[in-house]
Amino acid sequence: MEATLNLAIANLTSPMILFFALGLAAALARSDLVVPEAIAKGLSLYLMMAIGFKGGASVAQHGVDATLLLSLLAGILLSALIPVLAFNALRLTTGLKTVDAAAIAAHYGSISIVTFLAMTTAIEGLGIAYEGYMVAVAAAMETPAIIVALWLVFRGKGEKSAGAEQTGSQFSPGLMREVLLNGSVVVLVGAFIIGMITGDDGLQSIAPFIVAPFKGVLCLFLLDMGLIAGRGLIGGARNLTAPIIAFGIYMPLIGGTLGLLAGAAIGLSTGGIALMTTLAASASYIAVPAAMRLALPEAQPAIYLTLSLGVTFPFNLTVGIPLYVAFSQMIA
Amino acid sequence: MEATLNLAIANLTSPMILFFALGLAAALARSDLVVPEAIAKGLSLYLMMAIGFKGGASVAQHGVDATLLLSLLAGILLSALIPVLAFNALRLTTGLKTVDAAAIAAHYGSISIVTFLAMTTAIEGLGIAYEGYMVAVAAAMETPAIIVALWLVFRGKGEKSAGAEQTGSQFSPGLMREVLLNGSVVVLVGAFIIGMITGDDGLQSIAPFIVAPFKGVLCLFLLDMGLIAGRGLIGGARNLTAPIIAFGIYMPLIGGTLGLLAGAAIGLSTGGIALMTTLAASASYIAVPAAMRLALPEAQPAIYLTLSLGVTFPFNLTVGIPLYVAFSQMIA
Amino acid sequence: MEATLNLAIANLTSPMILFFALGLAAALARSDLVVPEAIAKGLSLYLMMAIGFKGGASVAQHGVDATLLLSLLAGILLSALIPVLAFNALRLTTGLKTVDAAAIAAHYGSISIVTFLAMTTAIEGLGIAYEGYMVAVAAAMETPAIIVALWLVFRGKGEKSAGAEQTGSQFSPGLMREVLLNGSVVVLVGAFIIGMITGDDGLQSIAPFIVAPFKGVLCLFLLDMGLIAGRGLIGGARNLTAPIIAFGIYMPLIGGTLGLLAGAAIGLSTGGIALMTTLAASASYIAVPAAMRLALPEAQPAIYLTLSLGVTFPFNLTVGIPLYVAFSQMIA
Amino acid sequence: MKTFTKKRIDIMVEAPLLNRLIDLLERQEVGGYTVVPAIAGKGTSGTWHRDGQVGRVGAVVQIFCIVDESRVDAILKPIFEMVAKQIGIVTVSDVEVIRPENF
Amino acid sequence: MKTFTKKRIDIMVEAPLLNRLIDLLERQEVGGYTVVPAIAGKGTSGTWHRDGQVGRVGAVVQIFCIVDESRVDAILKPIFEMVAKQIGIVTVSDVEVIRPENF
Amino acid sequence: MKTFTKKRIDIMVEAPLLNRLIDLLERQEVGGYTVVPAIAGKGTSGTWHRDGQVGRVGAVVQIFCIVDESRVDAILKPIFEMVAKQIGIVTVSDVEVIRPENF
Ligand SMILES: Nc1ncnc2c1ncn2[C@@H]1O[C@H](COP(=O)(O)O)[C@@H](O)[C@H]1O
Ligand SMILES: Nc1ncnc2c1ncn2[C@@H]1O[C@H](COP(=O)(O)O)[C@@H](O)[C@H]1O
Ligand SMILES: Nc1ncnc2c1ncn2[C@@H]1O[C@H](COP(=O)(O)O)[C@@H](O)[C@H]1O
Ligand code: NA
Ligand code: NA
Ligand code: NA
């Protein structure tokens, strides 16, 4: 218990979380502070490249153990299962329409890569090792949730009553291609493969760029995430009812529990379990929203974006990370 | 004397100053070299974050000594006093209108954070220590000058003859809020507080990002400042008469002297005195011009911006820095 | 032979080349991955600044040997001679119009600085030393090719039949100024001079910015180059006939051979010869295309850009680099 | 100078839809189009700002397309159908061009 | 397609004034507006370039607003008052829209 | 509000030509102009995208210029001559301004 509390305090007083809080505070105080769009995209590219490469180099060094395939499979199953739970929870507890509930559900089945990055940084700081291929698991979990969520809307309704034609909802192979080949995933997976090919030599040669400054860059990026989350809350809070906000808190805990159990069942290391927990607990706010605007335009972005970015993301970052680490240490 | 000359030569042949000179030369030669706006903003964000954090971490390490409050107070007083001197000097020696004189005066009471950065880099290079909280003093000096300058315009005139209504001059609490919460100040002060909270541990964890490459980033930023100063001079030089240009040279010396005396009086270290001198000597070209466009739209930006950025900034960077260091060493 | 093969494999499996391949693959798979324009320009600025500075500092350290002037002269001659060869090769083997052939020829006389950077990184990795002033040679080779190519169009035709007036072709001193003072050249040469002035002390003070992360930044930049080359190929491939594509492969070999011989003749080190070979073999895709749009607007950019960026650049990067190193080692 | 009257169609649409809109314009075989950035805005769907986004959702881009008057209706119909259910607006205005053949 | 004529108000104004202008538009309860970037320009107050600024002073941004003809005058008056004493210009032009209710 | 009708000339031109076009406008002594970014586009010379360029070739920028009707022809002629042989298009439209003297 005390260990958990110490973890929590260490997390809350880490530069990472404090820069996020600074961004949040600046947004709520309506400061004009902005991180230019191009810089934010550049930082995100850097983070994807670094985390992917490091994961690949680590796989090259430690070899692929038997659990790699199991982890990928577990990730895909979690990504497909969580939306079903989330959808039903929303239908039971909130008055949201089918499309809105399904759109939100898709976010929670998918993942937040920044939450994943924050967790890797936290456990690295604690000296906890983890499987390098968890990066690949993260990539694999992006998409299944979207397919399941669209199925939740269209199943049994013969494509009609949900209003496919009239309302614009659509489920197209083009959409899947766009999601699978979106820039972030391509850099993440590409850098992972390059890391696997070039191994530790490659890593050493570019470590002063992708390893040494990583944590500092993440701080700057989290400052921006805080700004965006804060501004999202200012603009979108009135769209969130109490049951919806509650969902944004308990759903990561449900998802995280599933991730924790799955990670333990397939025999991941403590760090690996913590990351699997984090992936399952986190909610997307980049790939899934974009896909939802195309596939379910009648679902309200002000609800799903605000919930994922303004409620669940800060919750995972502040409360979730120490919690997931503590439980992973217990179960491992 | 010889020591001062050596200082001057070392300063003029430092990469920092040479990159500034390169930018200036490229602009005057009408090269198409540009640093994209987003990159310049990103670099500036980085510099604020780094200097703020380092200052805070240093305070965490060395504790707050009695002079912190005195330094803040001295800074605020200097920021309020210098505009009065500057205003009267301008009214006596130039034919500028009240609004133009007051707008310029506001710039000289406020500060240039890049000049401050250049000074910290110079004294660090010389192995001279300084108080980490001088960053907070810098932040505190941004705003008082603006209030005093507006008072110089509106005092005794009952808001009329200066033409508030007709000409658009206005002094609103909204304006003060905008200035106080402007992005740079928020990042500077926020990072300072984060540095204080996380202390040396926090600093170590992100030092490869905010400490190691700092000087190099500053060089790139100064290249851009050189470009902007040069282009400002090309466009704005015809707005500057000889007495105005002279003011751009002697005013930093007057302000600097006051800073030097104040720093010595409150018992700052040699580095602290040099920084206080620099803050008092430097003139704003970001926060104050923006505030002046809102509060005194009839004052001509081509005069105050060109003077601050094209005359005083290069003067402080090249001649000022070694001079202020030399005097600080004498007086300390 | 085996050594060459090992070199080739080492090159093809370096992070640098693999990131280029990733970009190429992403573009061909029509991923939406982009590096924002501002970031790409910022990275390019950084690379110019770093390579220029390092070159200058190396000259400051090792002194200017007798071959500096000879190297500059050789570079200028190569830049002027190669377009004549290229022009005649194109006229003989392809059905291209005079303006198109001349425009392409200008590209091959001029240089690609990124290919140069990749070569310096490759030989540094192999522990092969090179003359720091080769950076200056690179800068000197940018322009002569443009003048020669314009002469190829206008010679003997009295400015008429080539259609100067009617078609817009023009050869103006303004154009030369624009090319000579283009941003990249100014930063490259400026940083070179600053490096020479500040020497090793200067280099040490900003090495954590310009030396340590250099290779990693180059990887990110090459990712973008891969994207751009790939998208250029998708859009422009239909403009390239087989003889034109063949030219994009054999011309760097011809140019490279000349560079190799010139480098050996003037007594450069192995690394210097490899760089001279690379400069002669590489083709411009920034400065020359921009000049051609102004001077020869009727020449088709879809041909010269696609050829230089989509064919010759990848060829040099993948096959050229190990080849040129191998031959330089033999001849040195 | 002799000029010819054409119609300029201006479409503001949420960024994720841009590629589909471009595909639509290509299928309509318009002579050309241009995509223009926007920084911030407000409409019936609320307020947005470019520098306050992760990802593309929420941002709006502009695309305009100069076409012959005779083709306006044929082009406008599918555009309007696509944009109507999304965040975005469409306007049409008169412009004159010098060379009529390209539109 | 049936269209309805509206007015498009285009305002170019120095960047530091943007927030106040937006506040003004909100107070006028316009149906929407869009802020558009500009790179460089020249006017009676001289020349400016986006990449040559520290801070926002000197840069100019554009904002446009589509409104019903009946409201143009009411909206234009305070805008013009604000912009007149600052760096900036205002233009008005005709546009057609498909759904008239949002403006 | 009383307004005055002017002409707005919109020029889209490949980026390397921008400086020459600005020189031309300055020689024509126009009262002002504004350069506006574009992200992507398609025309008779093919497709381009801003984020897919090394260097400036291939990118297109926009520049517009509000002038008095009486001067349109004099200004349009050299512009058209310059742009005709390059990548780019020119359009002209009507706008109203409040202060007529600056154009
Ligand atoms: N009909 C059009 N509507 C809108 N923009 C156009 C049109 N035609 C050309 N453009 C723009 O002008 C650029 C150059 O046109 P072009 O010279 O025809 O290739 C294109 O890349 C587009 O950005
Ligand atoms: N009346 C208007 N004037 C100018 N821009 C508008 C207007 N209405 C909407 N927009 C722009 O179009 C976007 C989408 O509009 P809407 O679908 O109404 O939310 C807004 O965010 C604005 O950028
Ligand atoms: N005639 C014009 N045509 C196009 N843009 C203009 C014109 N006049 C002014 N502008 C733009 O509006 C800005 C401010 O104009 P001004 O207040 O006249 O300096 C200029 O910097 C230009 O960007
Ligand atoms: Na999840
Ligand atoms: Na000052
Ligand atoms: Na060459």
DSSP D33-67: EEEE---EEEETTEEEEGGG-SSSTT-EEEEEEEE
Q: What is the pLDDT of residue B156?
A: 60
Yes or no: say if B169 and B297 are a contact pair by the CB < 8 Å rule.
yes
In Å, how far is B24's CA from the nearest CA of chain C? 11
F contacts of D93 (beta carbons < 8 Å): 93
Q: Residues near B208 by Cβ (< 8 Å), separated by ≥ 6?
A: A208, A212, A213, A216, C208
Is F31 within 8 Å of E43 when comparing Cβ atoms?
A: yes
D12: left (phi over 0), alpha (psi -120 to 50) or beta: beta
Give the best residue of C24, C39, C217 to mutate against chain A (max A CB count within 10 A). Answer: C39
Q: Which is nearest to A219 in space by CA: A125, A305, A308, A121?
A: A121
Please tell me the predicted confidence (pLDDT) of residue B65.
Answer: 78
Judge whether A138 is closer than 8 Å to chain D, CB to CB.
no
Average pLDDT for C215-244:
95
Q: How many of the other CB atoms lie within 10 Å of CB of B246?
A: 15
Residues in chain A, pLDDT under 70 = 156-171
Given this model, what pLDDT does residue A169 score? 55
Cβ atoms A48, A120 nearer than 8 A: no
Type and span of the H or E element at E25 = helix E18-27
Chain D contact probe: residue of A111, A228, A303 with most D CBs at under 10 A: A228
Distance A181 CA to ligand 4 centre (A): 19
- What is the rounded CA–CA span in Å between residue C198 and residue C55? 12
Indicate the residue type of A175: L
- Is pLDDT at C193 greater than 80 in this prediction? yes
Looking at residue C302, what is its pLDDT?
A: 92
Please judge whether B285 and E54 are an interchain contact, meaning their C-beta atoms are less than 8 angstroms apart.
yes
What residue in B sits closest to A208 (Cα-Cα)? Answer: B208
Find the mean pLDDT for residues C139-154.
Answer: 95
- The two three-digit tokens of residue C34, written as one number: 């982009």
Low-confidence ranges of chain B (pLDDT < 50): 159-167
In the DSSP assignment, the letter for residue A95 is -
Number of inter-chain CB pairs under 8 A, C vs F: 53
Best-predicted range by mean pLDDT among C265-279, E50-64, F40-54? Answer: C265-279
pLDDT at residue B145, as a whole number: 97
**Cβ(A16)–Cβ(A120) under 8 Å?**
no
pTM for the predicted model, two decimal places: 0.95
Rg (CA), chain A: 19
Complex ipTM tops 0.90: yes
Cα–Cα distance between A154 and A151 in angstroms, integer? 5
CA distance C134 to C127: 17
**Which residue ranges of chain E lie beneath pLDDT 70?**
none
Instruction: Give the number of the ligand closest to the Cα of residue D34.
Output: 1
Question: Pick from B67, B44, B84, B207: which is nearest to B136 by CA?
Answer: B67
| Binary contact (A290, D52; C-beta < 8 A) | no
Q: What is the DSSP pairing of strand D88-97 with strand E60-67? A: unpaired
pLDDT at A161: 43
- What pLDDT score does E10 carry? 97
* pLDDT bucket at F51, cuts 50 / 70 / 90: confident
C-alpha F59 to ligand 4 mean position (Å): 40
Q: Note whether A31 contacts B210, CB cutoff 8 Å.
A: no
Provide residues with CB under 6 Å of ligand 1: D 31-34, 64-66, 102-103; F 12, 38, 41-45, 48, 60, 87-89
Contact: E32, D41; criterion CB under 8 Å: yes
Contacts of B209 in chain A (CB under 8 A): 212-217, 219-220
Q: In percent, how much of chain E has pLDDT > 90? A: 78
Structure tokens at B261: 């005396």
> Which H/E stretch holds residue B289?
helix B287-295
The neighbour count for residue E29, using CB atoms within 10 Å, is: 8
Predicted local confidence at residue B157, as pLDDT: 66
**C178 Cα–ligand 6 center, Å:** 20
The confidence score (pLDDT) of residue B167 equals 47
CA distance C40 to chain F (A): 8
3 state SS of C34: coil
Q: What is the pLDDT, as a whole number, of residue C66?
A: 79
pLDDT tens for each residue of D27-65: 999 999 999 999 999 999 889 998 877 777 889 999 999
CA distances from C275 to B115, C71, C124 (A): 40, 11, 12
Q: Is-contact F101 F73, C-beta < 8 A?
A: no
* C276 token code pair: 């001279």
Find the length of chain A.
Answer: 332
Q: Which ligand gives the minimal distance to the CA of B297?
A: 3
Q: Degrees (nearest 5) of the Cα angle C75, C77, C80? A: 110
What is residue B171's predicted lDDT score, i.e. its pLDDT? 64
pLDDT for position A168? 52
| Start-to-end CA span in chain A (Å) | 17
What is the pLDDT averaged over residues D10-37?
Answer: 95
Residue D85: what are its φ and ψ, rounded to 5°? -90, 5
The answer to whether residue C162 scores a pLDDT higher than 60 is: no
F79 — contact with chain C (CB < 8 Å)?
A: no
What DSSP element (H or E) covers E82? helix E72-84
